[in-house]
Amino acid sequence: MKQKDETLYVGRLYLFGIPLWKMKKTKREWLEAAALMSTKRKRIECVFIDDEEDEHDGEF
């Protein structure tokens, strides 16, 4: 039986450069959220945060 990757990734959502909130999701949940947001024609930026609290840009 294959185990699912349940690692939680922390990210911060931004709307037009305005920080909204931090979220914890699995990789699959992030991919689903990105697909949903891209169909709504909204520009939402996601910044992933690692253990040292460094922020890495990513965009949906």
Q: Is 46 exposed, middle or buried (0-12, 13-18, 19+ CB in 10 A)?
A: buried
Predicted pLDDT at 40: 65
What is the model's pTM? 0.55
Strands 9-15 and 18-25: antiparallel
For tokens 């996601």, name the residue.
46
Which phi and psi (to 5°) does residue 2 adopt? Answer: -85, 130
User: Which pLDDT band holds residue 1 (cuts at 50, 70, 90)?
Assistant: very low
Summarised one tens digit per residue, pLDDT across range 9-60 is 888 877 777 888 888 988 888 888 877 776 666 666 667 777 655 445 554 4
Predicted pLDDT at 60: 45
